[in-house]
């Protein structure tokens, strides 16, 4: 299953099984496990973004806002984005 998520960089296609690096709060490697049906307020000001369940490298599942997951996926796929 793939859905569209949005972050500062625009639209990101997110799929179950996607792995991304996160360097913000709770840094580490995360895997997309499932997509939630609720929405959560985005700290980036994007609005109510769909929640995403992710699993960290220790096996703990966490529900995150979709824009944070989109941000992580985008930067993992485009590591030189901020070097431009």
Average pLDDT, the chain: 85
Q: Which residues are 50's β-sheet partners?
A: 39
Burial of 70 (0-12, 13-18, 19+ CB in 10 A): buried
Q: Domain residue spans in the chain?
A: 2-83
Cα distance between residue 48 and residue 3, in whole Å: 15
Whether the predicted pLDDT of 4 surpasses 70 = yes
* pTM, rounded to two decimals: 0.83
Burial of 23 (0-12, 13-18, 19+ CB in 10 A): exposed
- Residue that wins the pLDDT comparison between 1 and 18: 18
pLDDT digit string (tens) for 38-75?
A: 776 655 556 567 889 999 999 999 998 888 899 899 99
Which three-class secondary structure state does DSSP give residue 67? helix
Cα distance between residue 46 and residue 27, in whole Å: 22
């Amino acid at each position: 299953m793939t859905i569209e998520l949005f972050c500062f960089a625009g639209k990101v296609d997110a799929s179950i099984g996607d792995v991304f690096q996160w360097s913000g709060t709770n840094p580490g490697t995360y895997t997309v496990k499932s997509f939630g049906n609720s929405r959560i307020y985005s700290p980036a000001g994007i609005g109510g973004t769909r929640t995403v369940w992710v699993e960290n490298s220790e096996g703990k599942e966490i529900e995150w806002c979709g824009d944070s997951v989109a941000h992580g996926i985008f930067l993992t796929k485009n590591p030189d984005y901020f070097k431009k």
